[in-house]
Amino acid sequence: MPIEKFSREKVLSVHRWTGNLFSFTLTRPAHFKFSAGQFARIGLKVGDELVVRAYSVVSSPFDEKLEFFSIVVPDGAFTSNLQHLKVGDELYLEKIPYGFLTLARYQLPLPQDLWLLATGTGLAPFISMLQDFDTWTKYARIYLVYSVRTQSELAYVERIQQIAATFGEGHGGFRFIPVVTRDPDAALHERLPVLISSGELEQAAGAEFNPATTHVMLCGNPQMVDDTRAALKARGLSMNRRGEGNIAVENYW
């Protein structure tokens, strides 16, 4: 890939959530404009090769820096090197953003109920959306459902609470629903498609999936996305195409 498509940006901070989960921030060039939910392509030099991967942006579209959330893939050509990031290191940022997992894609049904369903680092685009006042203005009810394997992997929980207090002040319709699949004592511990099929997720939220009012966004590992999409379709929801329909997913894996 031509290196001219990239700008060189500096690492401003690194935060390690667990042994294999970390976040980092980069300088944001003035030309890099994006919508909440979009992803960036980040590169690093491995020998003489520029290795590039896609990362959803955690930051608000209005932030002065760019934040990303990563998992270390064992023996991965990219993250096995990226995990050693330090403040002051340089990364390559492609000059344009990508992706259609944005609220602008929804035309019908009209916005009322927004469900954001994430596993692992798939939480990233939803943190960005929740830092955009338009999200809170458009939707009367917002449900952020975050599924992880263990309690230690529940990243950004305090940040989510801060965002809800700041951006959702006076809103009253926000629910954060954690799911911990390897903790049988957790309130919700089944996989998302199972929780949807059984009705447990709706019971926990105190709301129902309604084809006439519901928008659902999915981001996470491909198997979760496929299985959850099927479970939602079985409940009468449809894929969003040409602006119409309930379910939207991101395809950059």
User: Could you give phi then psi for residue 234, rounded to 5 degrees?
Assistant: -65, -20
> In angstroms, rounded to a whole number, what is the distance separating the alpha carbons of residues 81 and 203?
42
> In angstroms, rounded to a whole number, what is the distance separating the alpha carbons of residues 240 and 216?
9
Amino acid at 79: T
pLDDT at 109: 96
Assigned token pair, 205: 């939220």
Domain ranges of the chain: 3-94, 103-249
Query: What is the average per-residue pLDDT within 88-111?
Result: 96
Domain 3-94, CATH: 2.40.30.10
Label residue 81 by pLDDT band (50, 70, 90): confident
Mean pLDDT for all residues in the chain: 95
For 23-75, what is each residue's pLDDT tens digit?
999 999 999 999 999 999 999 988 888 999 999 999 999 999 999 999 998 87
Amino acid at 72: V
| H-only helix segments in 7-109 | 79-82
Q: What percent of the chain has pLDDT over 70?
A: 98
pLDDT greater than 60 at residue 252: no
Other C-beta atoms lying within 10 Å of the C-beta of residue 163: 20
Label residue 251 by pLDDT band (50, 70, 90): low
Q: Give the residue with greater pLDDT, 3 vs 7.
A: 7
Cβ-contact 133, 170 below 8 angstroms: no
Question: What CATH number matches the domain at 103-249, 3.40.50.300, 3.20.20.100, 3.40.1180.10, 3.40.50.80?
Answer: 3.40.50.80
User: Could you give phi then psi for residue 218, rounded to 5 degrees?
Assistant: -120, 135
